[in-house]
Amino acid sequence: MENKASIGLLAGLIGLLMGCSSYHPKAINDATVQQQDTATAEQLNIQAAQIKHPYLKAVFFNIKDGLSPDEAAILAVLRNPELRAVRDRHGVANAQLLQAGLLPNPRLFYNFAAPSGGLDGGKVNGYGLALEWEITSLITQSNKIAGATSEQQAVDLQIAWQEWQIAQAANTAVYRLVVYEKQEALLEEIDQRLEENRVRLQQAADLGLVTELDRVAASTAKNAVDVRLQAVMQQKNQQQQRLNRALGLKPYDKINLQQTIELSDSSSMPTYDELIRSLSNRRLDLLALQQGYQNQEEQLHIAVLQQFPKISIGFTQSKNNSNYYTVGAGIAVSLPIFDQNQGAIALASATRQQLFDEYNNRVFQAKADIAEFLVTISALNKQVEAVNHAIPDLETLVNTYKAAIEHRQIDVLNYYTSWNNWTDKRVELLTLQLQLVEARIALEIATGMFHLPADLSKGTR
C-alpha cells in the first residue's frame, strides 16, 4: 500500500508539473495564404492612422486623389509580405526572453525494489525517492534575462529598420514612376507632332514639292523618337511592377498616383558635420547593433560564470526491503577537470570582437555614404541648373529654325537636329530631377532622418 501511495504521489507530481499548452495545427495552402491579404481600404486607413514607427508618421489615405510618395511608404509597411515574415522575429525574441527568465526544473528520481528470491522471509517491497535542483543556475539567470532583453530590443530595431528600407523603396518607386510617366507624355507629344510632319512631308515629296532628303530626315527623326518612347514605356511598366511588389499588390493591379507630385530642381542639405552628429544614436541599424553587442557582452559573462562547477542539492527518502526508512540530503558537484568552458568563452569572446568591428565598420560606412551623397547632390544641383538654362535657348533655336525652314533658308537636317537636342534636354532634366530625388532619399537612409530639412535646427519628420 505504501508503495502504491508513493507511485500515486509521483504520478500526481508529474501531472501537476506538466504545462497546459496544447498543439493547434495551422495549414499552409492557397486559402490560408489568401486570408493574409484581405484588408479593406477602411482597415488600411485605421492601421495607417495608428502606425507606430520611429521615423514614419501616421497618414490618412485618400485614394481618390491618387497615391502620394508618403502614402506609398506607409502602405508598403502595412502590406508588404516580406515584412510579415520579418515581424515574426519579434515573437521569437519574446519567446527567447520568456525562456531566459525560467529556472531549470528540479529533477525527481524514483526507484522500486521487490524481493525476488532467496531468504525473503519477512522482507517487504522497497523504494527510493529523491528530489534535486541545480542551485548554480541562479548565478547566471540575471545575465540571461539582460541578454535576452537586449536581443529583443535589437530585433525590434532591426524590424523597424527593414520597415523603413521598404518604405523608402516604395517612396522612390513612386517618384520613378512619376518621371517615367512625364517622359512618356513628353515623347508621345513630340512623336505625334513628328508623325504629322512626316505625313505632310511624304505628301509633299509625292508631289515633288520637297526633296527626298527632307522626307528621309523627317522619317528618321520620327523613328528615333519612337525608339526612345518604347524604351521609356518599358521602364515605366517595369517600375509599376516594382511598386506593386513593394506595396504587396498583385502584378497587374493598377494604382493611380497623385497628379500634384512635384520634382525639385534643387535640394538644400545640412552640412556634413550636422548630419553625422548623434548618428549612432539615430540610425536604427546602429542602435540594433548596440543592443546586439550588449547581448553578446552578457553571453560572454555567462560563459565565464559557467566555468565554475555546477552544484545540485537534493533530498531523499527511501525504504529498504527490511522495512527500514531513511531520510537524507545530498549535494552533487561537477568536477571541471577536462572541460572548464574554455571553448564557450573563446567563442563568446571572438563573437563579441566580431560585433565590435562590425559596428565600427557600419559607422564608418555610414559617414562615408553621407559624404558621398552630399557631393552627388551638390553636383546634381549644378547639372539641373545648367539644363534649366539650356532648355529655353534650345526652344528658341527650334522656333527660329522652324521659321527659317519655311523660307528654305536652312538645311532641314539642322532643324531636326535642334529639335532632337531640345527633346533630349527636356528628358534629361526629368532624369536629373529623379536622380536628385533618389540621392536625397539615399541620404535620408544613410543619416536615419526622414524628410531632411536644409537646417537641422528646424527639426525633421
39-450 is classed CATH 1.20.1600.10: yes
C-alpha 301/C-alpha 257 separation (Å) is 54
Reported for 396-401, long-range contacts at CB under 8 A and 24+ positions apart, including other chains, are 397/422, 398/422
- The domain limits of the chain are 39-450
Q: Quick: pLDDT tens for 4-34.
A: 555 554 455 455 444 556 655 666 655 555 5
Residue 242 and residue 174 in contact, taking contact as beta carbons nearer than 8 Å: no
Q: Quick: pLDDT tens for 372-411.
A: 999 999 999 999 999 999 999 988 988 888 888 766 666 6
Residue 310 above 80 pLDDT?
yes
Q: Quick: pLDDT tens for 357-370.
A: 999 999 999 999 99
pLDDT at 88: 82
C-alpha 164/C-alpha 459 separation (Å) is 19
pLDDT band at 457 (very low <50, low <70, confident <90, very high): very low
Least confident of 55-64, 316-325, 337-346, 397-406: 55-64
Q: Quick: pLDDT tens for 197-221.
A: 788 778 878 888 777 877 888 888 8
The whole-chain average pLDDT of the chain stands at 82
Residue 59 and residue 74 in contact, taking contact as beta carbons nearer than 8 Å: yes
C-alpha 123/C-alpha 320 separation (Å) is 9
Residue 263 above 90 pLDDT?
no
Q: Quick: pLDDT tens for 406-442.
A: 666 666 667 777 888 888 899 999 999 999 999 999 9
Angle at CA of residue 74, ends 71 and 76, nearest 5°: 105
> Side-chain half-sphere of 336: how many Cα atoms within 13 Å?
11
In whole angstroms, how far apart are CA 293 and each of 62, 71, 287?
A: 43, 35, 10
pLDDT at 359: 95
Residues sharing a CB contact under 8 Å with residue 144, sequence separation 6 or more, in sequence order: 100, 101, 298, 302
Residues above pLDDT 70, as percent of the chain:
82
Kindly report the pTM of this predicted structure.
0.78
